[in-house]
Structure 1
Amino acid sequence: MTFKRRTFLKSVPALTGLGLMSDVYAESPTTAKNILRVIIASDGHYGQPNTEFQEFHDDLIGWINREKLQKGVDFTIFNGDLVHDDPTLLYDLKTTLGKLQVPYYVTRGNHDKVAQDVWKSTWGYNTNHSFVKGRYAFILGDTSNEKGEYLCTDPEWLKSEVAKHSDKKGIFVFLHITPVKWTNHGIICQEITDLLENTPNVKAIFHGHDHDQDGTKMLGKKPYFFDGHFGGSWGTSYKGYRVLEIFEDDTWTCYQYNPTAAPILNSFSGKS
């Protein structure tokens, strides 16, 4: 399967109040009602010098709040590199994210460089954590440390998490750094990929980190999704995010979204 990336056309300011853009969303590939709708974004790099990091975040928040009004959003996951090398920026970032009209969860990326205790006091949970929404589990794994090193998620922790959620219809896993050396910035985590491949109810794995990747890569029977970036100084020519929709008939779909151009990119559908 070949995935194509469309190019950036023009920038769109963040939306506030009821100043909505026209609805340009594609119809879902099923007539079933969605039971969960999730937005996944990564690599905001809040505070990166010589970037419009505040504008990038304001734009994303406007896009997500618009989606909440137009199609519904249950929650957002920010998949790593929340700030750029300075953990003292977490407070300002959290204040900015307070403008979101939906709940959100976060993972630690290599540029966050924040200690475990500061992370937990800021967000209320550890860098490795999971949560459940109905019949589905969401596992958010840590792939770095206070030094910003590239690391594999703790395999023993991940084993315990997938075992804990073995009764769920589906598990979706979020790791900032990809555990396969198929990108410039990926690493090899054979124990992790073997575990994911051999866990039947793991449905998909999501990554940030590689700003120039916005498509899907298959390893065995599992799709690994990338979402480009919404901040930072390099990457895809547009700033966007991914949407995951899970339907009541146990199908699900995932696609990359470019809010500033013809929007639907790299769609993928699966069955729980």
Structure 2
Amino acid sequence: MSTRRRFIGQTIRAAMVLSAGNILQSFAPGSFELPDPDEVLLRFALASDGHYGQPKTEFEATHRTMIAWLNKEKENRGLDFTVVNGDLFHDNPEFFPQVKKVWDTLNMPWYATHGNHDKVTEEVWRESLNYGWHHSFELKDCGFVFLNTADETGKYICPNLDFTSWELRKYVFKKHTFVFMHITPFKWTDNGIDCPELIPELDVQMNLRGIFHGHDHDQDGVKENNGKHYFFDGHVGGSWGKPYYGYRIVEVLKNGDILTYQMNGVAGKQENNNTIKA
């Protein structure tokens, strides 16, 4: 590279700039550059649906590969943490401690949402990860809220509204808030669930920059409702979905913009890219 700014080239499918929910400009493939690392305040990754232990899948190999990719991201451009957005393992609770050991080899903190295939009680979940199915934390003037969308049998459920309302209000004066929930609260995908009581809570949060989902292995883009943007990140493992294993990167820039792009780890390229202007 001739400069510190990394040119994306022809690897982007699409890019857009958004402000207050409106698309201001779209970029053609090959017309976008990543910012200088000095312009980045905070950077995190999302990877979902590893389905560790699923029969007839190469779950051990896909997890080793994903860990290597994310550790390389940490080494090269930096990562503050990773979010594993549900379905860490596949149904059998015996795989829970095993997959935790795998994710513990990340060279950064990691946090998880509870997925419909993570069939353990909340007590077991808390004993293993030191937080419940709903949890939150803050970092660098950002609030991060994790919501639960399944019970211990795998039944789809809507997040706890009292927790959601309380936590969003707690972070209302932060510069940015981000929400993570395994299952999308709309039936706009084959595997979504309608949560009409949740949507107003998200709609009124003015500093909510993105809601992030796993679950739909065949989704790796963004959807919009009432000016809020709902992002997907494909899958780490499992037996179906996008024809690549990937992860999403989110960069919070010092100027207030949010840049997010989906990575195809095998190809080492961006699959799509979005910039949100605060």
Aligned ranges for residues 55-66 of structure 1 at < 5 Å? 55-66=61-72
Cα distance in 2, alignment partners of residues 54 and 255 from structure 1: 26
Cα distance in 1, alignment partners of residues 206 and 156 from structure 2: 27
Q: How far apart are 1:32 and its partner, in Å?
A: 6.0
Cα distance per residue 1:47-95 (max 9 Å; x no partner): 0011000001000000001111111111000000000001221111111
- Work out whether residues 32 and 247 of structure 1, in 8 Å CA contact, stay in contact via their aligned partners in 2: no
- Work out whether residues 216 and 266 of structure 1, in 8 Å CA contact, stay in contact via their aligned partners in 2: no
Q: Does 1:169 align with 2:175?
A: yes
Counterpart of 1:149 (choices 142, 151, 155) is 155
Counterpart of 2:227 (choices 203, 221, 227) is 221
Cα distance in 2, alignment partners of residues 210 and 107 from structure 1: 14
Q: Which residue does the alignment assign to 2:185?
A: 179
Q: Does 1:230 align with 2:236?
A: yes
Cα distance in 1, alignment partners of residues 96 and 248 from structure 2: 23
User: Which of 71-80 and 83-92 deviates more?
Assistant: 83-92
Amino acid at match of 1:269: T
Q: Which residue does the alignment assign to 2:51?
A: 45
Q: How far apart are 1:27 and its partner, in Å?
A: 3.8
Cα distance in 2, alignment partners of residues 92 and 46 from structure 1: 8
Q: Which residue does the alignment assign to 2:25?
A: none
Cα distance in 2, alignment partners of residues 169 and 119 from structure 1: 30
Cα distance per residue 1:85-130 (max 9 Å; x no partner): 0122111111111211111000100000110110000000011000
SS class of match (2:237) = coil
Query: CA separation of 1:204/1:253 partners in 2, compared to 1, >3 Å: closer, same or farther?
Result: same
Q: TM-score if structure 1 supplies the norm length?
A: 0.89
Q: Matched residues, percent identical?
A: 44
Q: Does 1:133 align with 2:133?
A: no
Cα distance in 2, alignment partners of residues 62 and 108 from structure 1: 23
> Could you list the runs of 4 or more consecutive aligned residues of structure 1 that deviate by over 6 angstroms after TM superposition?
none
Q: Does 1:116 align with 2:122?
A: yes
How many residue pairs get aligned? The number is 250
Cα distance per residue 1:115-159 (max 9 Å; x no partner): 011000000001100000111001011100111011111111100
User: Unmatched 5+ residue regions in structure 2?
Assistant: 1-11, 15-31
Q: TM-score if structure 2 supplies the norm length?
A: 0.87
SS class of match (2:198) = helix
Q: Which residue does the alignment assign to 1:67?
A: 73
Q: Does 1:263 align with 2:269?
A: yes
Query: CA separation of 1:203/1:133 partners in 2, compared to 1, >3 Å: closer, same or farther?
Result: same
Q: Which residue does the alignment assign to 2:23?
A: none
Cα distance per residue 1:209-236 (max 9 Å; x no partner): 0000001101110110000001100000
Aligned ranges for residues 184-199 of structure 1 at < 5 Å? 184-199=190-205
SS class of match (1:140) = strand
- Work out whether residues 204 and 223 of structure 1, in 8 Å CA contact, stay in contact via their aligned partners in 2: yes
Cα distance in 2, alignment partners of residues 265 and 29 from structure 1: 17
Q: Which residue does the alignment assign to 1:87?
A: 93
Q: Does 1:212 align with 2:218?
A: yes
Cα distance in 2, alignment partners of residues 52 and 262 from structure 1: 20
- Work out whether residues 32 and 249 of structure 1, in 8 Å CA contact, stay in contact via their aligned partners in 2: no
- Work out whether residues 48 and 84 of structure 2, in 8 Å CA contact, stay in contact via their aligned partners in 1: yes
Amino acid at match of 2:96: L
Cα distance in 2, alignment partners of residues 262 and 72 from structure 1: 16
SS class of match (1:190) = coil
Cα distance in 2, alignment partners of residues 131 and 42 from structure 1: 19
Cα distance in 2, alignment partners of residues 150 and 208 from structure 1: 13
